[in-house]
Amino acid sequence: MKKIAVLTSGGDSPGMNAAVRAVVRKAIYNNIEVYGVYQGYQGLINDDIHKLELGSVGDTIQRGGTFLYSARCPEFKEPEVRQKGIANLRKHGIEGLVVIGGDGSYRGAQRISEECTEIQTVGIPGTIDNDINGTDFTIGFDTALNTIIESVDKIRDTASSHARTFIIEVMGRDCGDLALWAGLSVGAETIIVPEVETDIKEVAERIDHGIKRGKKHSIVMVAEGCMTGEACAQELSKYVNVDARVSVLGHIQRGGSPTGQDRVLASRLGGHAIDLLMQGETARGVGIRDNVLRSTPFDEIFRADEHQFDYNIYELTKELSI
C-alpha cells in the first residue's frame, strides 16, 4: 500500500475533520501517501483530488464540518458515472479509499470495490444519527447529543418560568437514538421515537398527571422521523389543555466543535481504517463495540436490524419521569 485517498460524503457531522486528520497522519506515519478527494463522490468524478501533507490537517481536530467538503451526488449510483471516478483513482495510482459518511456513502464504496478489485475500500461511520450497524457509536453523535442538551437546558429555563410544555423536535429519520439519549439527559417526560409505537393519549395523560402533582414544566422529545413537533402538539391538544410550544432544533445539531468523545472516537476509527488497509482488507466499515475497535463487511452493515435500540434506556426514562 503506497497511496490512498480519503473523502467525506453525505450529511456532515462534527468529528469528520478529526477522522480525516487521523487517516492522513497515520498513513504518512506508515509511509503511505494520502490524497484528499474534495466534495465527496462529486469530487471523485471531477478529479478534485489533491495530495495532503502532515500540515494539511493541522488545526482541524477542533473544527466542526469537514474541510474536504461533502456533497450529495446521486449520479454516483450510475455505473458509467462511477467508472469516471474509478478512472481518476487509477490515474493517481490510488490503491485504497477511505470513505467517511453514512450508509449511502458506504454503498458507493462497496460498488467501487466490486467494480475495481485492485482498489480497497474502508468506511468510517460519520453521522450524528447513530444509525449505522456494526458500531455502538458514530462520529458526531456525542456532539449533537450535547448540543441538544445545552439547547434544552436553556429552553427549560423559560419553560419553568411559564409552566409550559415544550415539544422538542430533534434529528433522526429512522433512528431514535438522539431523542432517546437526549431525553434521558434532560429529564424529558416522554420520548417519541420510530422504534416504539407511542399512544399520544397516554402521553397527554402523563403530562396532565405531572401538572396535577405540581410539575412546573414538561419536556416531550420527538424524533423527526416519527412525527413533527407541530403534529405532536396538535395531537396532544386533543386530549390535554396545555400551553404547548414547539422547538425544532434543526441544523444546529450538526454543527459545532466536536466533543472529546467524538475526537477520540474519530481518531481511533481513522487509525483503525489505516490498519485495515495495510492488512489488505476491503469493503468493510470500522466501528467500536464495548470500547473495542472492530470492522464489519459492508454487506452485514446493510442488514437493517442489527443496530439495537436500547429499550432499557427507554424504560428507565419512563421510570425516572413519573
Residue 82 vs 156, nearer CB to ligand ADP = 82
**Shortest distance, CB of residue 130 to ligand ADP, whole angstroms?**
12
Pick out residues in 104-123 that bind ligand ADP (CB under 6 A): 104-105, 107-108, 111
Cα–Cα distances (Å) from 120 to 76, 264, 282, in that order, read 18, 25, 5
Contacts of residue 145, defined as CB under 8 A and 6 or more positions apart, other chains included, come to: 178, 181, 182, 185
Q: Roughly how many angstroms between the first and final C-alpha of the chain, as a whole number? A: 58
Residue 39 vs 317, nearer CB to ligand ADP = 39
Kindly state the cell numbers that stand for 165.
410544555
Interaction of residue 13 with ligand ADP, rule CB under 6 A: no
Quote the CA–CA distance of 315 and 177 in Å, as a whole number.
14
171 annotated ligand-binding residue: yes
Q: Are 8 and 101 in contact (CB under 8 A)?
A: yes
Residue 115 vs 153, nearer CB to ligand ADP = 115
By CB under 6 A, which span of 9-17, 25-33, 85-93, 241-249 interacts with ligand ADP?
A: 9-17
Pick out residues in 161-220 that bind ligand ADP (CB under 6 A): none
Tell me the number of residues near ligand ADP by CB under 6 A.
18
Pick out residues in 59-98 that bind ligand ADP (CB under 6 A): 72-74, 76-77
Binds ligand ADP by CB under 6 A, chosen from 4, 5, 7, 11:
11
CB-closest chain residue to ligand ADP: 104
Binds ligand ADP by CB under 6 A, chosen from 15, 85, 96, 102:
102
Beta strand residue intervals within the chain, DSSP E: 3-8, 33-37, 49-52, 96-101, 120-125, 165-170, 190-192, 218-223, 244-248, 284-289, 292-297
**Annotated active-site residue in 12, 129, 131, 177:** 129
90 annotated ligand-binding residue: no
Dihedral through CA 257, CA 109, CA 107, CA 282, nearest 10? Answer: -110
R_g of the chain, CA atoms, integer Å: 22
**Shortest distance, CB of residue 11 to ligand ADP, whole angstroms?**
5
| 129 flagged as catalytic | yes
Cα–Cα distances (Å) from 200 to 7, 163, 220, in that order, read 43, 20, 11
**Shortest distance, CB of residue 216 to ligand ADP, whole angstroms?**
39
Pick out residues in 29-58 that bind ligand ADP (CB under 6 A): 41
73 annotated ligand-binding residue: yes
Quote the CA–CA distance of 219 and 231 in Å, as a whole number.
15
Place of cell 416531550: 220
Known binding positions for Mg(2+): 103
Known catalytic residues? 129
- Provide the annotated binding site for ATP: 11, 72-73, 102-105
Q: Which residues bind ligand ADP (CB under 6 A)?
A: 9-11, 41, 72-74, 76-77, 101-105, 107-108, 111, 127
